[in-house]
Amino acid sequence: MTSRILVSACLLGRPVRYNGSAKAVAHPVLDEWRTQGRLVVVCPELMAGFGVPRPPAEIAAGASGEAVLAGAARVVELTGADVTARYVEGARAVLALAQENGCRFALLIDGSPSCGSGFIHDGGFGGRRHAGAGVTAALLRQNGIEVFAETQIDALRARLSPEA
């Protein structure tokens, strides 16, 4: 049986990002997986009840999703509102969906306080990035799901072989 793959909705062109945009990725293997019905489309923020558009949010003080899950860091909006609990709720909803669908892999948008897997923003809302994972990416990894960024589609395809 071929593995199902979690994928960020914005990568498929859905306008779900904080500013109402998408970050569609054009890649033939992504189209192939979509045609095969292998993709489980998620947006942790929408699953947590956030709307579109919404204020931008970052993990405060240069921390990471792991620290948020451990209760040692917060996710805050540009307005100053603490939205940590909702980000954790969205991450848990994505994990539950992944487990229900037997997903062992995820393809998530990098940079997001939810989905970032290689880098996230530092919490200062100045565009500065640092290595780290968002809340959802961290929770998925803690539960044995391999997370790839949109720049790693070929690596994910190789990881799926020979079943790809």
| Nearest alpha-carbon partner for 43 in 77, 14, 66 | 14
Which residues make Cβ contacts (< 8 Å) with residue 150, sequence separation at least 6? 8, 11, 23, 25, 107, 108, 109, 110
Question: What is the rounded end-to-end Cα distance, in angstroms, of the chain?
Answer: 10
φ, ψ for residue 146 (rounded to 5)?
Answer: -80, 130
pLDDT tens digits along 135-155:
999 999 999 999 999 999 999
Q: List the structure tokens of 7.
A: 């994928």
Give the DSSP H/E element, type plus range, for residue 42: strand 39-42
- How large a percentage of the chain has pLDDT more than 70? 98
At residue 75, the pLDDT reads 98
pLDDT tens digits along 83-138:
999 999 999 999 999 999 999 999 999 999 999 999 999 999 999 999 999 999 99
Half-sphere exposure of 55 (CA within 13 A, CB side): 12
Residue in the structure block whose two tokens are 């997903």: 103
Half-sphere exposure of 134 (CA within 13 A, CB side): 31
